[in-house]
Every structure is written in C-alpha cells, then in structure tokens.
C-alpha cells in the first residue's frame, strides 16, 4: 500500500487544480467493488490522498496516516495548529440515503485521536474535520449534527464541494482564516440537530473566511454539485452495461451443457445472480439520488 500511496501522490502532483477537483467530486466507491475487499480499501486510500493534496494546494501541510486502526486518515497543519481529518466516501447505490450516524461520526473516538496526537506531538490538534460527499447527507435532522456541533470538541463537516470550492478560491484568502470554523464556543454554544441549523451557522462563516457573500458561495457550490449529477448518471450507465455484458456472456458459459432443460435453468439462474445486485444499486440510486438525475 505504501508504494501505491507514493505513486498516487506523485501522479496527483502533475494534475491541475481542475483535474484534482474532478477526481474529488466524482470519488464514489464503484458499486461493483466487494465490500471491505482489497479494491475498496485501495480506492478509499486514493480518496484520502486526493483530499490531502487539496489541502496542500490550499496552503496547509498535510500528512497521510499509514495506520488505519483507531486513527485519523489525514492530518493538516498550519504553524502549530493541526486538524485531524476523517475522509468518507460511499457507494451511490447503497441502500440508505445517508450512513448510520455511528459510522459517520463518533465523538468519543475522535477525542481519543486528539488526545493521542496532543500527547505525542509539540503542535496542538484543536479539532477534527469530516470530509464526505453531500449526496449522502441527511435531508432534515440527524444525531450527526449534534455530534458535529458540540463545543466540547469541534468536529466540522465539510462536503466534497466545499473542499473543491476552497481550492478554487485559494488565492482570495489565507488558509489561517479557515480556523475560525472551529471556534465552536461562539458558533454553537449549544448543539443543533438539523441540517438547516448546522449550515445556517457554518456557511456564513465559510463565506466570510473566503471573502464572499453567502449567496455567491451557495451559487458556486451548486455549480460544483453538477459533478454529482454526472456521477449518478454515469453510475447507472455503468451498471446497465455490466448487466448487459453478463446477460450476453452467461449463455456462452452454459453452451457445454448437454441437457437443454438444465441449460435453460442455469442460464436464467446465473443471469439473476449476477444482475440482481446491480439492479438493486440502480433502484437505490433512483430512490435516493433522484434530485441529481433530473439535472444530468
């Protein structure tokens, strides 16, 4: 994995900001990757590397953590101040609109990360950051917003499009101004529980940091979200292609069967086995990502 990380870092350094943004905004786990297998683990590591490179270009020093057990994915640092980053990405065809809260944020776990870092480093980790695709954000309310607005430990949620936007606007602000997003004692004196409450506080602060009006920021974010629409449509096209390929290949695989009845039965069975998960992914996309399909 270390060789893969180094190769990916070197390759990304030769890409433009626009290319890096496209990689981030389309960085969804392919639906045909087996869960928790090698390909999925490599893919999620690549997303961590992309996020780290984004922050490098914004002006931070970034470190990709090699140890995956009980630790953050990326550390970003400016001066003596550090933010611990938890990188998230998902399948578009997953069966839920949003992840389980405990799989998205667990404050007690992040407290351990911060404590471990501060015990062993001269710089200070002041909080954490969760980077994720907003295609999988909760529609109205969630315990995740409470966890991510607790002044005991500031854990900021920033979706892919905001990281991409910060990269686009990197010449218009100083990265030190972004630390204001972690001043939770004034931002969230008490935790909030809804999407509207969370972003009504966070978005104006973000706009102030990059010296733009909130309405301008939102318009620019909407443009970046078009990448999501493209990804959703492409995911469906890819799944249908795989279904078609499987449907064509399976009859060839059963040609050697001598019994016609067995051949017909096995053909139908294999088509069903291989295409059913893909059809389920398409159904989940239609149900949970339909707002992006309408703009594609």
> Is residue 96 domain-resident?
yes
> Is residue 136 domain-resident?
yes
- In this structure, the answer to whether residues 185 and 209 fall within a common structural domain is yes
- Ordered alpha helix ranges (H), the chain: 2-13, 17-25, 38-58, 101-104, 107-120, 143-147, 160-168, 184-187, 195-209, 214-224, 226-253, 260-288, 290-293
For position 253, what pLDDT does the model report?
78
For position 68, what pLDDT does the model report?
61
Walk along the chain (296 residues) and give the pLDDT tens digit of each residue.
678 888 999 999 999 999 999 999 999 999 989 888 899 999 999 999 999 999 999 999 999 997 666 789 999 999 999 999 999 999 999 888 899 999 999 999 999 999 999 999 999 999 999 999 999 999 999 999 999 999 999 999 999 999 999 999 999 999 999 999 999 999 999 999 999 999 999 999 999 999 999 999 999 999 999 999 999 999 999 999 999 998 988 888 777 777 788 888 888 889 999 999 999 999 999 988 888 887 55
- In this structure, the answer to whether residues 152 and 22 fall within a common structural domain is yes
Nearest-angstrom CA–CA distance, 29 and 6: 21
For position 290, what pLDDT does the model report?
85
Q: State the CATH number of the domain containing residue 171.
A: 3.40.91.70
- In this structure, the answer to whether residues 265 and 201 fall within a common structural domain is no
Nearest-angstrom CA–CA distance, 232 and 288: 10
- In this structure, the answer to whether residues 92 and 237 fall within a common structural domain is no
Q: Which of 182, 213, 244 is the last residue of a domain?
A: 213
Phi/psi for 288 (5° steps) reads: -105, -15
- In this structure, the answer to whether residues 238 and 205 fall within a common structural domain is no
> Is residue 219 domain-resident?
no
Q: Which of 181, 213, 245 is the last residue of a domain?
A: 213
Phi/psi for 72 (5° steps) reads: -70, 170
Q: Which of 213, 240, 266 is the last residue of a domain?
A: 213
> Is residue 221 domain-resident?
no
> Is residue 220 domain-resident?
no
- In this structure, the answer to whether residues 280 and 247 fall within a common structural domain is yes
Nearest-angstrom CA–CA distance, 129 and 75: 10
* Residue 243 structural domain: 226-293
User: Do 87 and 75 meet the contact criterion of CB atoms below 8 Å apart?
Assistant: no
For position 291, what pLDDT does the model report?
85
> Is residue 40 domain-resident?
yes
Query: How wide is the angle at C-alpha 159 spanned by C-alphas 158 and 161, nearest 5°?
Result: 120
For position 295, what pLDDT does the model report?
59
For position 126, what pLDDT does the model report?
95
- In this structure, the answer to whether residues 178 and 252 fall within a common structural domain is no
- In this structure, the answer to whether residues 15 and 77 fall within a common structural domain is yes
- In this structure, the answer to whether residues 177 and 203 fall within a common structural domain is yes
- In this structure, the answer to whether residues 108 and 33 fall within a common structural domain is yes
- In this structure, the answer to whether residues 52 and 173 fall within a common structural domain is yes
> Is residue 86 domain-resident?
yes
Q: What is the tally of structural domains in the chain?
A: 2
- In this structure, the answer to whether residues 191 and 130 fall within a common structural domain is yes
> Is residue 218 domain-resident?
no
User: Do 206 and 187 meet the contact criterion of CB atoms below 8 Å apart?
Assistant: no
């Amino acid at each position: 994995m270390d060789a893969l990380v180094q190769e990916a870092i070197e390759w990304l350094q030769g890409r433009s900001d626009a290319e890096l943004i496209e990689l981030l905004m389309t960085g969804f786990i392919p639906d045909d990757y087996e869960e928790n297998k090698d390909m999925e683990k490599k893919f999620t590591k690549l997303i961590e590397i992309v996020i780290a490179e984004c922050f490098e270009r914004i002006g931070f020093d970034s470190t990709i953590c090699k140890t995956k057990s009980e630790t953050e994915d990326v550390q970003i640092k400016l001066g003596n101040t550090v933010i611990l980053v938890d990188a998230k990405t998902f399948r578009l065809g997953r069966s839920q609109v949003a992840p389980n809260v405990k799989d998205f944020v667990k404050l007690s776990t992040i407290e351990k990360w911060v404590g471990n870092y501060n015990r062993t480093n001269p710089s200070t980790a002041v909080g954490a950051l969760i980077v994720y695709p907003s295609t999988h954000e909760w529609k109205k309310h969630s315990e995740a917003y409470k966890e991510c607005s607790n002044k005991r430990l500031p854990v900021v949620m920033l979706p892919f499009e905001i990281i991409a936007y910060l990269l686009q606007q990197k010449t218009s602000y100083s990265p030190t101004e972004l630390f204001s997003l972690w001043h939770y004692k004034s931002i969230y004196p008490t935790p909030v529980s809804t999407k509207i409450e969370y972003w009504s506080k966070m978005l104006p602060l973000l706009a102030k940091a990059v010296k733009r009006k909130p309405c301008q920021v939102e318009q620019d974010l909407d443009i970046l979200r078009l990448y999501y629409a493209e990804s959703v449509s492409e995911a469906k096209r890819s799944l249908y292609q795989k279904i078609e390929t499987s449907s064509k290949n399976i009859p060839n695989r059963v040609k050697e069967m001598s019994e016609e009845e067995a051949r017909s039965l096995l053909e139908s069975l294999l088509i069903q086995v291989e295409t059913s998960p893909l059809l389920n992914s398409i159904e989940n996309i239609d149900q949970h990502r339909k707002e992006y399909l309408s703009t594609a």
